[in-house]
Chains A and B, each alone.
Chain A
Amino acid sequence: MPLTSDERYQLYHYMRQSRAIEDAAWALAGQGRLVGRLYTGHGQEAVPVGCAFALTDGDVIAPMYRDMGAHLVRGIRPVEVFAQYMGKRDSSNGGTDSGLHMGDMARGIVGMISVLPDSLPVTVGAALAFKLRHEPRVAMTFFGEGSTSTGAWHEALNMAAVLKVPAVLVCENNHWALSTPTEREYAAGAIADRAVGYGMPGVRVDGNDVEAVYEAASAAVARARIGEGPTLIECVTFRMRGHSIIDAAEYVPPAQREAWAARDPIARQYERLVADQLWDESRDAALVEALRAEIDAAIDVAAAMDDPLASTVTHGVFAATDRATTRLPAAALAELTPNGYPDAFRAPRPLPAGPPLAPAGGVGASVVSPADEADHA
């Protein structure tokens, strides 16, 4: 289904919001206000936004640390991001882990670990669960081209195809695995070409064109949802900053960086919306201002949240053994929906509201007010 004007704007909004959050986080990290090291997706925003936008409630993603936009599309709010980055007690990880390692089954987000390709087999298993239960749900994961050199990646693609699970496997080929360029990562041609070796479709798409990414992801999601199995999507993009905040990335040739800067995914979507008379400069200025206010408020609220207590360091290593341990779960089963997962799974995902050309203030309707943020805290 073609994108509506509203949806084309929403793609832009999420990319803008993603970059604004990461810019702010970059500054906070520089001030030493974050726990752990910061990794961002500067320049790659079209991939997580375009792909996650192709999903619906009940679907699941296993994102990585460059996928702020995917988190936002799934309904994560800026205050949750900053609380997580600051390691606050009531954040997703509560200080037990850092960065974008947040998991949230209510919104269908499997929390990543630093071994990035590990998300692939987990995604295959999530999709397998959907298939075994005959649920029309899809599991999607994101990984860099660096992950494609590992054994877990190969095992996951092969198993996904053999078991024909409803999975979408998104490669963000950003040309650099830390300091290793693609020509030192693989000798084969396009990563998408490898799909044929596994018996699944492989698609290569301009990863800096959010609408093209969305179209590719939508087609893959549709295939998966009707039982036709997994798809490998290679989104060709570029990591515009270092691997992490402490990596100056001096190994990246300036000409390469400049060429990709000229293809910035946010600028491209802006120009497209303007050309189609869906957006203009003054509204954009209002959006930037609204996002800044939203983020400033989120940072303030997050900063005021409690830090974890040392006395809780041993909490939660194991899930409490439930009633089912000694006797079975007739009661436990009854508490589940027929599909075997709690209703909370279907929590609606908030979308940026308002038509693109709404009067000033329409855009701002998506901004969470400080009062709302306080409720969360």
Chain B
Amino acid sequence: MRDDMTYLEAIREALREEMARDERVFLLGEDIAAYGGVYKVTDGFLDAFGPERVVDTPISENAIIGAATGAALMGMRPVAEIQFADFIACAFDPLVNMASTIHYRWGQPVPMVVRMPAGATWAGAGPFHSQSMEAWFAQVPGLKVVMPHTPADAKGLLLAAIRDPNPVIFLEQKYLYRRLKGPVPEGDDAVPLGVAAVARAGRDATVVAYGTMAHKSLLAAELLAADGVDIEVIDLRTIVPWDRETVLASVAKTGRAMVVYEAHRTAGFGAEIAAEIAEFAFTELDAPVARLAGLDTPIPAHPTLEAAYLPDEHAIVAALRELVGW
């Protein structure tokens, strides 16, 4: 166990260990080999594994995803990197029409991972380098969607994603890449997909979040703890499949629920979680299910505007005070 590994280092370690362990695993993407990726996640991989395991491609998101699909069908375990998650829009078609439907249509597994740095940075990354697109893919049967929050989960969930026989969308939180450090276990224990974590136990209300918003929700819970408000934070970890049981059990315990996500509010994945809570835990609720999310605007570049777009720990605190006092 290392105590202070960054989120980014944990991802790098998962990739390095899994490539060493399984010769079917290879990487493809833009600027990932000699350059090491724009965030340097694969820095040094070219030297360690050679050009046949770390394949630089032209700027061709559509062909990257299609090629990963073809290689997966031939028995490889490709891990594609999309330089910024926003650019996956260029490759929507091969994911939603091809990769996701193959097993349902003719029974062949498609073991591939699409890694993408996603989310806002509070640093003015702007409309095309800030988006969170978990809801886009949660709507597509046949795709799994993962959005880790802690360094330990970033490693363990990536191991599980690579070993999964299905296409997995792995949304890395670039805000957390170098900001968040934490303990990361040695070795190759995967964190199973579809199992949420109770990131903080509490009595007064449940917050359901994932990725950067799980981090912000924990900060908010600590601020409220000083006032004697005891918040439970569920870190969903996996969007598809998502862990309804853990969420519903928590809501049954606290009687209050708030969903926090940084994607646009309307039709975001938090809307699905809120709907499920309202439908299946209605009699447990002491207050309406609350939602706190990004605005229904493009994500603006100027830090003042970006901050106005994004929920942060202070906004979460304010919303939770309202929920607890309802």
Contacts and interface: CB of A to CB of B under 8 A. Distances in A.
Interface residues of B, number: 57
A114 B101 CA distance: 12
Interface string B52-83: 11010110101111111111111110100000
Interface residues of A, number: 56
Contacts of A102: 106
Contacts of B164: 321, 325
Contacts of A126: 70-71, 73-74
A155 B63 contact: yes
Contact of B190 (A101, A129, A326, A342): A326
A60 B74 CA distance: 9
Given A105-B73, A129-B75, A327-B188, A115 B97 contact: yes
B300 interface: no
Interface in B151-173: 160, 163-166
B66 A111 contact: no
B70 A132 contact: no
A159 B60 contact: yes
Interface string A39-71: 000000000000000000000101000000000
A121 B65 contact: yes
B62 A155 contact: yes
B272 interface: no
A128 B93 CA distance: 21
A118 B94 contact: yes
Contact of B103 (A62, A104, A317): A317
Contacts of A129: 70-71, 74-76
Interface string B38-62: 0000000000000011010110101
Contacts of B23: 333, 340
Contacts, number: 180
A128 B188 contact: no
B105 A101 contact: yes
Given A152-B63, A319-B103, A341 B57 contact: no
Contacts of A358: none
Contact of A326 (B24, B93, B189): B189
Interface stretch (A90-98, A188-196, A226-234, A249-257): A90-98
B107 A316 contact: yes
A224 interface: no
Contacts of B65: 121
A324 B21 CA distance: 12
Given A103-B105, A316-B107, A122 B52 contact: no
Interface in B104-132: 104-111
Contact of A118 (B97, B142, B160): B97
A123 interface: yes
Nearest to B80: A125
B269 interface: no
B108 A122 contact: no
B141 interface: yes
B69 A158 contact: no
A111 B102 contact: yes
Contact of A92 (B64, B68, B106, B193): B106
Contact of A325 (B18, B73, B108, B163): B163
B67 A336 contact: no
B7 interface: no
A121 B63 contact: yes
B75 A120 contact: no
B69 A113 contact: no
Contacts of A139: 70
Interface in A139-170: 139, 151-152, 155-156, 158-159, 162-163
A304 to B, nearest CB: 22
Given A93-B106, A113-B101, A122 B165 contact: no
A328 interface: yes
Contacts of B28: 128
Nearest to B100: A317
Given A139-B70, A152-B66, A327 B104 contact: no
Interface string B80-99: 00000000000001100110
B183 interface: no
12 contacts: A62-B70, A103-B107, A110-B73, A111-B105, A111-B106, A122-B69, A124-B66, A125-B70, A126-B74, A155-B60, A321-B165, A340-B74
Interface of B: 18, 21-24, 26, 28, 52-53, 55, 57-58, 60, 62-76, 78, 93-94, 97-98, 101-111, 141-142, 144, 160, 163-166, 188-190, 192-193
